[in-house]
Chain A
Amino acid sequence: MRVHLSMVMAVMLAALGAAGTARAVDPTELPDPALQARYLALTHELRCMQCQNESLADSPVELAADLRREVREQLLAGKSDEQVRAWMAARYGDFILFRPRYSWRNAWLWGAPAVLLLIGALVSWRIVRERTVLLATDDAPLEEDRQG
């Protein structure tokens, strides 16, 4: 078990190392630290459309670099995070957003957990009630059943 744990640690450390090299993919340094923080957050939550499971920040392909340039320039021009996201989604669809937006089309997805929980609660409540009724009507000792 101890061996396994150290292997897990090694994998986690390797993952941390990979996160470190993301800076090598994107050496951007914005003059304002607050802007830099927003830039990093945005490039991490926007999808690289070419590689699809990587964020803009982690992807070495040219399109990702072009889209990072857009994020950088728009932030420097004073655009808000939401404006940048909307700009991206207008061209590439909501698929480019790793954090999906709430809309009437995906409302059922957001609502589904609550609905399922409610159904589960209803079913278990009915089962419990049925069993309570059973207990109440059949409390005669087994002995009597045999004799009767």
Chain B
Amino acid sequence: MNRFLLPLGAFLLLAVVLAVGIWHSPEKGVIASPLLGRPAPQFALPELNHPGRQLRSAELKGRWYLFNVWGTWCTECRAEHAVLLKVQQAGVVPLIGLDWKDDDAQARDFLTQLGNPYQAVAVDASGRAAIDWGVYGAPETFLVNPQGIIVYKHVGALTDDTWTREILPRVSAAAAGS
């Protein structure tokens, strides 16, 4: 009996290990950010729609916000724009934009034409802020809680599904709890 059970057990173990490897391969999903559960990076950047004014991360503390990294050069950002406008209309959580390595004039045109869902847009011309947030491709969206902790990250275009299933429950659960 042992003669068959032992190899069978070894085979099953190997199958499980390989299956986990396939499910968790980087191509299969997104790379988990080490920033999840950690304080959102600090920044002080020029504001897109208020030349001369700076947007500081310290101003954002004490309330929920969605931090959305975008650029006019990013086609997926165009695709998610309608969802961002819906998020703004819902009025549950404000959107803060990070205009990543973009042309300011083009970015302003983009928002005038398609509508501006953001409460404020920070301009990251050098790309340093995006690196601090561990961004590797726009669009990326972070949910930050009132304590300034990143509680959720979405890579790729935001969808209705992500909004209703991942983001909204987190914000409303917190609102109900307090």
Q: Which residues of A contact B (CB under 8 A)?
A: 49-50, 52, 62-63, 66-67, 70, 89-93, 95
Cα(A52)–Cα(B27), bound, Å: 9
A-contacting residues, B50-101, CB 8 Å: 101
Q: Is the CB of B101 within 8 A of A62?
A: yes
- Measured between beta carbons, the chain A residues less than 8 angstroms from B134 are 91-93
B31 at the binding interface (Cβ < 8 Å): yes
Question: Which single member of A50, A52, A70, A91 contacts B34 (CB below 8 Å)?
Answer: A91
- SS class of chain A's interface: helix, strand, loop or mixed? helix
- Measured between beta carbons, the chain A residues less than 8 angstroms from B45 are none
Question: Which single member of B34, B101, B131 contacts A93 (CB below 8 Å)?
Answer: B34
Q: A49-B31, A50-B137 are in contact. Are A91 and B131 (CB under 8 A)?
A: yes
Which 3 pairs show the lowest CB-CB distances between chains A and B? Answer: A49-B136, A91-B134, A66-B127
- Measured between beta carbons, the chain B residues less than 8 angstroms from A90 are 34
Q: How many A-B residue pairs have CB under 8 A?
A: 39
B26 at the binding interface (Cβ < 8 Å): yes
CB distance from A123 to the nearest CB of B (A): 9
Cα(A67)–Cα(B132), bound, Å: 11
Cα(A52)–Cα(B26), bound, Å: 9
Q: Is the CB of B137 within 8 A of A91?
A: no
Q: A49-B136, A50-B136, A92-B136 are in contact. Are A62 and B34 (CB under 8 A)?
A: no
CB distance from A122 to the nearest CB of B (A): 12
Cα(A92)–Cα(B31), bound, Å: 8
- Measured between beta carbons, the chain A residues less than 8 angstroms from B126 are 66
CB distance from A61 to the nearest CB of B (A): 9
Cα(A49)–Cα(B138), bound, Å: 12
B33 at the binding interface (Cβ < 8 Å): yes
Please give 17 more A-B residue pairs, beta carbons under 8 A apart, in addition to A49-B136, A91-B35, A93-B134.
A49-B137, A50-B137, A52-B26, A62-B101, A62-B127, A63-B137, A66-B126, A66-B130, A66-B131, A67-B131, A70-B131, A89-B34, A91-B131, A91-B133, A92-B31, A92-B33, A93-B31
5 contacts between A and B (CB under 8 A): A63-B137, A66-B127, A70-B131, A91-B131, A93-B33
- Measured between beta carbons, the chain B residues less than 8 angstroms from A62 are 101, 127
Cα(A63)–Cα(B100), bound, Å: 11
- Measured between beta carbons, the chain A residues less than 8 angstroms from B31 are 49, 92-93, 95
